[in-house]
Amino acid sequence: MDKKRKFSKKALRDFELIDAAIEFNDQSAFAELMANYKNSIYFTILKMIKDPDDAEDLTIEAFSKAFNKLDKFKKDYTFSTWLFRIATNNTIDFIRKKKLKTTSLNTTFKDDSGKNIDIDVKDQDKTPGEEAIHKQKIMLVRKFVSQLPDKYENLIKYRYFEELSYNEIAEKTKSPLGTIKAQLFRARELLFEILKDKKSQI
């Protein structure tokens, strides 16, 4: 029996987009997948960490990781479930690194199709792999950042590479905090455009 018959029309459409993205590097397919789930991913992450700026950053990372691994996706389950697991696991890594006070990591979240996603949380002690995860994220961003205009490239470097807060970036650049937030928002939007245009390998 064809397993696809178990899925909704939306899930089957996702499968078509994934095939187009993998086989033809169809940029419109990447764009449609991102448009379908960007808000859902963002608000799921925001629920976990309570910070809109970090949630935007982590949304970018979730899509970049998913697109880089798209050829590993198996159609035994929905794309939304797979994407939400990537997003939540990546956010857990972020929470551990920052030691944030957040909603319980044992909370069950729902993916875009309404199915529950149970988040498996390992021992909270630091592991040698955490630093490697952090370095991997920076390497990922470096692949895209060099393609940004200089103004946005510098801001992203401050945010990702030097890990400065928004206030610290404003002080460093002698710019109003509102301007920095607006420009970083635009920089993230440009990164989304790059993500849908390229499938980089980490």
Residue 18 lies in a domain: yes
Q: How many CB atoms lie within 10 A of CB 27?
A: 14
For 62, list phi and psi in degrees, rounded to 5: -60, -45
> Higher model confidence: residue 32 or residue 25?
32
> Higher model confidence: residue 83 or residue 183?
83
d(CA 192, CA 202): 17
**Has residue 115 got a pLDDT over 70?**
no
Q: What is the pLDDT of residue 96?
A: 85
Residue 189 lies in a domain: yes
**Has residue 108 got a pLDDT over 70?**
no
Give residue 148's domain range. 7-197
Residue 1 lies in a domain: no
What is the mean pLDDT of the segment spanning 161-169? 85
Residue 202 lies in a domain: no
d(CA 18, CA 126): 35
Q: What is the pLDDT of residue 126?
A: 46
What are all long-range contacts of 152-161, with beta carbons under 8 Å and residues at least 24 apart?
152/183, 152/186, 152/187, 152/190, 155/180, 155/183, 155/184, 155/187, 156/184, 156/187, 156/191, 159/57, 159/184, 160/57
Q: Any idea what the CATH number is for the domain that residue 134 is in?
A: 1.10.1740.10
Contact (Cβ atoms closer than 8 angstroms) between residue 90 and residue 61: yes
Residue 146 lies in a domain: yes
pLDDT band for position 123 (cuts 50, 70, 90): very low
Residue 34 lies in a domain: yes
Residue 44 lies in a domain: yes
| Number of independent structural domains in the chain | 1
pLDDT band for position 105 (cuts 50, 70, 90): very low
Percent of the chain scored above 70 by pLDDT? 71
